[in-house]
Amino acid sequence: MPNPTAAALIIGDEILTGRTREGNGHFLAGVLAQTGIDLKEIRVIGDDHATIVAAVRELAAGHDHLFTSGGIGPTHDDITADAVADAFGATISIRDDAYAILAAHYATTGMEFNAARQRMARIPAGARLIDNPVSAAPGFSLGNTYVMAGVPNIFQAMVASVLPTLTGGKPLISLSLRVMQAESSVAQAFGALAARMPDISMGSYPFVKDGAYGTNLVVRGTDAARVEAGHAQLRALFPEGQ
């Protein structure tokens, strides 16, 4: 049985204008690989309602899970919740349980529970809340789509809240060998090995260290015995590798 599939949708003008280097997609990629969910695409788009609606519809329909990051805060440019509601044809309004969580949080911190903060209680009808242990304002899931904050530590905490609810497949196992040869020197033997073992994935990643060429050769798959067999073949081909 193949692993479930997923896509990530990263929302924010700050990434497309070069202000912020995206990292949530990278974090999610590592977590999903360990969980046995195959991440097929990471897509970064801007804060535009129609663009978000279209991307949510396409990516939610094309994958078992869709994870979004960004645009659920208190300001005018936080439009993700409304766009996700539209994408699923759901209404959206301030919901009592989300409101209560936020009211309790601001009562504790002594900050006013103002209109901007109340806006973070807007949740599409039919959604389940995603716990936010960092700053209270919840994410939510609707259908197969998990809507989370863009601030990295909050995103990571929300992913931790969501993960136990997902059914994963076989975790991805990666073994690598570091060879101090140019990628184009190892390409022929490495490609021949990959052709002999088509059930596992092999990738090569060149680097330059202290002026010398090197390549990391990576064997990936979900069957541990096959990945280890591939790695053993690789070590036999490049006995100097580490």
Residue 230 touches a second copy, criterion: CB under 8 A:
no
Which of positions 14-33 make contact with a second copy (CB under 8 A)? 14-23, 25-27, 29-33
Residue 87 CB partners (closer than 8 Å, separation 6+)? 52, 53, 56, 57, 60, 145
Residue 68 CB partners (closer than 8 Å, separation 6+)? 8, 9, 10, 11, 56, 80, 84, 145, 146, 147, 148
* Pairwise CA distance, residues 89 & 92, whole Å: 10
Of 30 and 126, nearer to a second copy (C-beta) is: 30
* Pairwise CA distance, residues 27 & 151, whole Å: 12
Residue 179 CB partners (closer than 8 Å, separation 6+)? 186, 214, 215, 216, 217, 238, 240, 241
- Residue of the chain from 11, 130, 202, 234 that contacts a second copy (CB under 8 A): 202
Residue 115 touches a second copy, criterion: CB under 8 A:
yes
Residue 151 touches a second copy, criterion: CB under 8 A:
yes
- Residue of the chain from 94, 104, 187, 224 that contacts a second copy (CB under 8 A): 187
User: Where does this chain touch a second copy (CB under 8 A) — which range of 10-18, 124-132, 161-169, 227-235?
Assistant: 10-18
Residue 108 touches a second copy, criterion: CB under 8 A:
no
Which amino acid is it at 127? A
Residue 75 touches a second copy, criterion: CB under 8 A:
yes
Report residue 132 as tokens: 């936010």
Residues that bind a second copy (CB under 8 A): 12-23, 25-27, 29-33, 39-47, 51, 73-77, 111, 114-117, 119-120, 151, 172, 174, 182-188, 190-191, 194-195, 201-206, 218, 220
